[in-house]
């Protein structure tokens, strides 16, 4: 008889449909999925809600090391798991940035044993970076074509070509902040309309044009803000991310520094066309672009306030509320939130299937609530989604270990580096 550590029973999203399933877990993996399983050291029956594969956030900034007053791995992954996210991929613009093997090793050593979710650490695309040495130990590489937090901008044509050609040989995906820095203005800003004036949509579109010579390469375009960029990326065979703030906010109604982000929120007409691309299934995945600036940071005058919006804990609960309202389907939520980010970055996650990691999130869409900043777990202490309707998870399991039960945290730092250690 198969020895199982845990069996989770209930209505589950399996092979694209919801059906009663019993999910047997052993050694952190899903060992068996059947309509009936005998045995198991522990059994959990899910009386309401649906059992989903754990969600993956492919784009977070946990600021660890160097800016841990904003966020560290403990607080960031605690926020993630409360949002139903069981794996995060962290960006390299920390202090110091992850640009070589030494800085990668140092960051791995620092965060080991301090995560409530599984994780991967991106490396930055820099001139002459040793992609071959770092590739086995990172989910991918991050190229910043536009200025943002950190000083790892790479916008020179020859350097981009050399670096991307080198990385392509490793088979790793390259996530791109696609704004052409040559087209970004530097005029004083007083509100989000001014910020938009400095970072026009044309900068984003031109960055895609410049990437067109890499057609078919494993490239992911982060935080798309407009439908034209999405269409261009799809035509080039790239994957695409969207952050909720670009789907919901626009500068005439949301003008304060709370909504300041790079690339910026666009005007209503551009936003609405992007929303249409999203609803029509043209965008590959969600990425929160979680940027946990503190309330005091965001309270500075607009020009001095940092760019970025926190979202790792609220993205999937808001998505699940969209499912509740029949705005999108369960299948689209799982595809964009779990299946595609997992497969795009080479993880055996994102499906309730034998051999996959035992990462599970249970959501009951009958139990919706309003987001309260006071109850969120990020150090940011602020969120533009305060008061929004959301559906938070009832149960979250990471690698076969229960982290959230009945909506309450009961876990430990069980998260593992999915990409190993050099």
Q: Is the pLDDT of residue 322 over 80?
A: yes
pLDDT digits (tens, 9 = 90+) for 255-296: 999 999 999 999 999 999 999 999 999 999 999 999 999 999
Given a contact cutoff of 8 angstroms between Cβ atoms, the answer to whether 83 and 288 are in contact is: no
Instruction: Select which of 57, 180, 181, 289 is catalytic.
Output: 289
Q: What is the mean pLDDT of the chain?
A: 96
pLDDT band with cut points at 50, 70 and 90 for residue 150: low
| Residue bearing the bigger pLDDT, 147 or 160 | 160
How far is it, in rounded angstroms, from Cα 400 to Cα 26?
7
Tell me what pLDDT residue 171 has.
Answer: 96
Tell me what pLDDT residue 1 has.
Answer: 55
- 220 DSSP β-pair partners: 175, 239
Provide mean pLDDT across the span 58-87.
97
Q: Is 375 helix (H, G, I), strand (E, B) or coil?
A: helix
How far is it, in rounded angstroms, from Cα 84 to Cα 8?
16
Which of 31-40, 193-202, 227-236, 356-365 shows the lowest per-residue confidence on average (mean pLDDT)? Answer: 31-40
Provide mean pLDDT across the span 250-257.
98
Domains for the chain: give ranges and CATH numbers: 54-344 (3.20.20.140)
Provide mean pLDDT across the span 293-305.
96
Tell me what pLDDT residue 147 has.
Answer: 77
Instruction: Please list, residue by residue across 349-372, b when 16 or more beta carbons sit within 10 angstroms of its beta carbon and e when fewer do.
Output: bbbbeeebbbbbbbbbbeebeebe
Tell me what pLDDT residue 420 has.
Answer: 72
pLDDT digits (tens, 9 = 90+) for 191-211: 999 999 999 999 999 999 999
What's the whole-model pTM score? 0.97
Residue 42 CB neighbours (<10 A): 11
Q: Is the pLDDT of residue 60 over 60?
A: yes
**Cα separation values, 88 from 41, 93, 96, 207, 393, Å:** 29, 15, 20, 26, 17
Question: Is 45 an active-site residue?
Answer: no
For residue 56, give both structure tokens: 């993956």
Provide mean pLDDT across the span 55-63.
98
Give the up-direction half-sphere exposure of residue 305: CA atoms within 13 A in the CB hemisphere. Answer: 28
Terminus-to-terminus CA distance in the chain, angstroms? Answer: 37
Q: Is the pLDDT of residue 111 over 70?
A: yes
pLDDT digits (tens, 9 = 90+) for 341-356: 999 999 999 999 999 9
**Cα separation values, 39 from 25, 203, 290, Å:** 11, 58, 41
**How buried is residue 162: exposed, middle or buried, by Cβ count under 10 Å (0-12/13-18/19+)?**
middle
Task: Give every CB contact of residue 33 below 8 A, 6+ residues apart in sequence.
Answer: 12, 14, 21, 22, 23, 24, 352, 353, 354
Q: Is the pLDDT of residue 177 over 90?
A: yes
């Amino acid at each position: 008889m198969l020895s199982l550590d845990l069996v989770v029973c209930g209505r589950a999203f399996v092979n694209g449909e919801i059906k009663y399933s019993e999910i047997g877990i052993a050694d952190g993996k899903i060992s068996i999925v059947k309509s009936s399983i005998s045995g198991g050291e522990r059994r959990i029956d899910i009386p309401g809600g649906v059992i989903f594969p754990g969600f993956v956030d492919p784009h977070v900034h946990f600021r660890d090391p160097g800016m841990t007053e904003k966020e560290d791995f403990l607080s960031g992954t605690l926020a993630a798991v409360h949002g139903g996210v069981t794996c995060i991929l962290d960006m390299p613009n920390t202090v110091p940035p992850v640009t070589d093997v030494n800085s990668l090793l140092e960051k791995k050593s620092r965060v080991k044993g301090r995560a409530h979710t599984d994780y991967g650490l991106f490396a930055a695309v820099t001139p002459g970076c040793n992609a071959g040495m770092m590739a086995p130990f990172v989910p991918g590489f991050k190229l910043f074509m536009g200025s943002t937090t950190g000083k790892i901008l790479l916008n020179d044509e020859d350097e981009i070509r050399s670096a991307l050609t080198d990385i392509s040989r490793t088979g790793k995906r390259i996530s791109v902040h696609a704004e052409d820095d040559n087209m970004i203005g530097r005029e004083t800003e007083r509100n989000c309309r001014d910020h938009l004036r400095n970072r026009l949509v044309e900068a984003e579109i031109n960055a895609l044009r410049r990437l067109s010579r890499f057609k078919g390469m494993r490239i992911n375009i982060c935080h798309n803000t407009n439908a034209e960029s999405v269409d261009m990326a799809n035509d080039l065979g790239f994957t695409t991310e969207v952050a909720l703030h670009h789907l919901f906010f626009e500068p005439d109604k949301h003008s304060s520094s709370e909504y300041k982000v790079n690339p910026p929120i666009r005007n209503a007409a551009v936003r609405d066309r992007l929303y249409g691309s999203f609803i029509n299934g043209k965008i590959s995945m969600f990425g929160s672009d979680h940027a946990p600036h503190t309330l005091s940071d965001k309270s500075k005058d607009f020009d001095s306030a940092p760019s970025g919006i926190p979202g790792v804990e609220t993205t999937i609960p808001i998505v699940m509320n969209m499912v509740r309202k029949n705005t999108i389907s369960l299948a689209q939520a799982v595809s964009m939130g779990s299946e595609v980010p997992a497969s795009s970055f080479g993880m055996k996650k994102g499906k309730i299937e034998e051999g996959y990691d035992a990462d599970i999130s249970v959501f009951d869409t009958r139990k919706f609530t309003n987001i309260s900043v006071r109850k969120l777990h990020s150090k940011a202490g602020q969120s533009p989604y305060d008061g929004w309707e959301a559906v938070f998870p009832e149960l979250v399991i990471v690698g076969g270990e229960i982290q959230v039960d009945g909506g309450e945290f009961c876990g430990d730092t069980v998260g593992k580096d999915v990409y190993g250690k050099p």
